[in-house]
Structure 1
Amino acid sequence: MRQEPLAMFEAPEWARVVGVFDLETTGVDVTRDRIVTAHVGVLDADGGVLTARDWIADPGVPIPEGASAIHGISTTYAREHGRKAAAVVSEVVEALAGIFAAGIPVVAYNAPYDFSLLKHEALRHGVAPLASPSPVIDPLVVDKRYDRYRRGKRTLSVVAEHYAVRLDGAHEAAADAVAAGRVALALAERFAAWLPVTLEELHTKQIGWARAQAESLTEYFVRLGRIDPDDTVDGRWPIR
């Protein structure tokens, strides 16, 4: 049954300020692909941008045309305008660590992708990785939990539209990061009656929700014949 919001409940305390994080990359393999652009910022309770920082990296490998078509950064552009990947990775890790140290949650849409790819990039470049990023808020996981039976895709652009969040320039790191943060704030308001009150509990709950969602998706894919019965969808969260 779909849960409808109760107007008498206020958004949780943790929704007063949130960090945001997004990467655009050379591909979708978190162990092998590289960072092309990154954004780390902080939003207030109304979704206003308090701080914002952007990076363009030279990934050190050619950017496939398919990836360039999505985020608009070509190999030539990255080589001419990007900074060394090691420096970018180090600064992104440092920026996120600073937000976490301040007790501020970081919103990342489909968090295991961004945090896992960042971890492997850090290891590749000799940077100490964020081994256990926390607290993290993943609007994809939260939306699936509280509106499980809503039909349609759950891409950021579709979910942002559903929650009346404007997204200009989809697949651009800053635009995606800010939109994901504003979706998280919309979720905090709409489902305030049911969301965990503390960040620690919310983070822990998402670990279980993500695992259960992966198990359900595995069963669905097996029924469709997309994967073998012995295969599984990885449900580790927020990092793999």
Structure 2
Amino acid sequence: MTSWHTLPRAAFDLETTGRDPLDARIVTASIVVVNGRSEILQTKEWLVNPGVPIPEEASAIHGISTAKAQADGMDAATAVAEISAFLADLFLTMPVMAFNAAYDFTVLDREAKRHGLASIVPAPVIDPYVLDKQVDKYRRGKRNLSVMSEFYGVQLLNAHTSEADAAATIGIADAQAAKYPQLQADPAELHAQQIKWAAEQAASLQEYFRRKNPDAVVDGQWPVKS
């Protein structure tokens, strides 16, 4: 079997107005498409006017101010429609990678609903964050994109720009597939496994949190939270 990490594939990343995917608005989006030799075939980028002020703490991370988004950004509904259509076409022929995919695809889903647009069904998705927690369960330390880029030997330049983060996501996923042959599954099968793994990971984290807070809840839905 030829593994997905040696075939055409893509990555998707968003920078937004906040941490809560149910409320965050898209500020920038990037999709990077590579061939089987990991050469970039296409990059699509969107700068979006989210229609709400961008908090200073979010601007400090991704570098886009409210004034910049209002002056140069696309109308949010138009951007969401374009992003969704581009992803839907990709999913017909290849997997799309997203780091902590439940954030990015939930934001996109909520934005589509917010603007009265049809939501896409994101599949097959490959999420290096979920994969890493499955294949290396007991490694200590953070598992954010910067840390995991360093751990897997992937160059991450201009972190917290959506294009750079998308490119790094591909590199991390490729390194994982090379290191752990059990991940070299059919993308549709791997997608189904990640749904199960994400739920199990959330349940384990919830059990840990409930040692101090009996009411703690960790949502394990993946790749879209309802």
- Using the size of structure 1 for normalisation, the TM-score is 0.90
Partner amino acid, structure 2, of 1:208: K
Give the counterpart of 2:57 among 57, 66, 73: 66
1:235 and 2:220 matched: yes
Alpha-carbon contact 1:47-1:185 (below 8 Å) kept: no
1:40 and 2:31 matched: yes
**Secondary structure, in 3 states, of the residue corresponding to 1:66?**
helix
CA RMSD of aligned residues (A): 1.3
**Partner Cα distance (1:32, 1:195) in 2:** 33
1:31 and 2:22 matched: yes
1:218 and 2:206 matched: yes
> Which residue of structure 2 aligns with residue 200 of structure 1?
188
> Which residue of structure 2 aligns with residue 7 of structure 1?
none
**Alpha-carbon deviation of 1:48?**
2.2
Alpha-carbon contact 1:24-1:36 (below 8 Å) kept: yes
Give the counterpart of 1:114 among 95, 101, 104: 104
**Secondary structure, in 3 states, of the residue corresponding to 1:238?**
coil
**Partner Cα distance (1:185, 1:18) in 2:** 10
Residue deviations 1:202-221, cap 9 Å, x none? Answer: 01110111011101111222
> Which residue of structure 1 aligns with residue 144 of structure 2?
155
1:90-109 correspondence to structure 2 within 5 Å:
90-102=81-93, 104-109=94-99
Give the counterpart of 1:89 among 64, 80, 84: 80
1:134-149 correspondence to structure 2 within 5 Å:
134-149=123-138
1:124 and 2:109 matched: no
Is there any run of 5+ residues in structure 2 with no aligned partner, and where? none
Alpha-carbon contact 1:59-1:85 (below 8 Å) kept: yes
**Alpha-carbon deviation of 1:230?**
3.0
1:45-60 correspondence to structure 2 within 5 Å:
45-60=36-51
**Alpha-carbon deviation of 1:41?**
1.9
**Secondary structure, in 3 states, of the residue corresponding to 1:144?**
helix
Aligned length: 224
**Alpha-carbon deviation of 1:197?**
2.2
Alpha-carbon contact 2:34-2:40 (below 8 Å) kept: yes
Moved over 3 A (4+): none
Residue deviations 1:183-240, cap 9 Å, x none? Answer: 1111111101x225211210111011101110111122222x2xx3233200011111
Is there any run of 5+ residues in structure 1 with no aligned partner, and where? 1-9
**Secondary structure, in 3 states, of the residue corresponding to 1:169?**
coil
1:180 and 2:165 matched: no
**Partner Cα distance (1:46, 1:141) in 2:** 24
Alpha-carbon contact 1:45-1:185 (below 8 Å) kept: no
Question: Taking CA–CA contacts closer than 8 Å with sequence separation of 6 or more, which of the two structures ends up with the larger relative contact order?
Answer: 1
> Which residue of structure 2 aligns with residue 13 of structure 1?
3
Identity of aligned residues (%): 50
- Using the size of structure 2 for normalisation, the TM-score is 0.95
Partner amino acid, structure 2, of 1:37: T
Alpha-carbon contact 2:29-2:162 (below 8 Å) kept: yes
**Secondary structure, in 3 states, of the residue corresponding to 2:89?**
helix
